[in-house]
Amino acid sequence: MNRASAGLETIIAKALHRAPASESALLAWPVVCGSAVAGRTRALGFSDGILRVEVADEGWRRELVSLAPRYVALINRYSVVSVKRIEFVVKA
């Protein structure tokens, strides 16, 4: 199983490195946060090292802020651009 996950990780990394740099962090978001979180959030944009992610409500924002360092590390593992931080914004 470990070989399979390493192979999948390599495929994902290569695909994200082929994507336009401006989209790399946006495309990495659903990969690193998982399907449950990806289904309730949306990457809005990336600028100056900040990935903006829309969340449904303040509860989701609080929960994800605590996980942000982990997500930043994972995104930077795959993305061709460096993400310094994630800004979670509540859906208007």
Instruction: Count structural domains, the chain.
Output: 1
Helix (H) or strand (E) holding 2: helix 2-18
Judge whether residue 13 has pLDDT over 80. Answer: no
Q: Which residues on adjacent β-strands are paired with residue 45?
A: 52
- CB distance 85 to 50 below 8 Å: yes
Hey, is 80 helix, strand or coil? coil
Summarised one tens digit per residue, pLDDT across range 21-59 is 788 899 999 989 998 999 999 999 999 999 999 999 999
- CB distance 55 to 74 below 8 Å: no
Q: Which residues on adjacent β-strands are paired with residue 41?
A: 55
The sign of the torsion formed by the CA atoms of 38, 68, 25, 78 equals negative
CATH of the domain at 82: 3.30.300.180
Summarised one tens digit per residue, pLDDT across range 61-91 is 999 999 999 999 999 988 888 999 999 999 9
Structural domain of 63 = 2-90
Global pTM reads 0.85
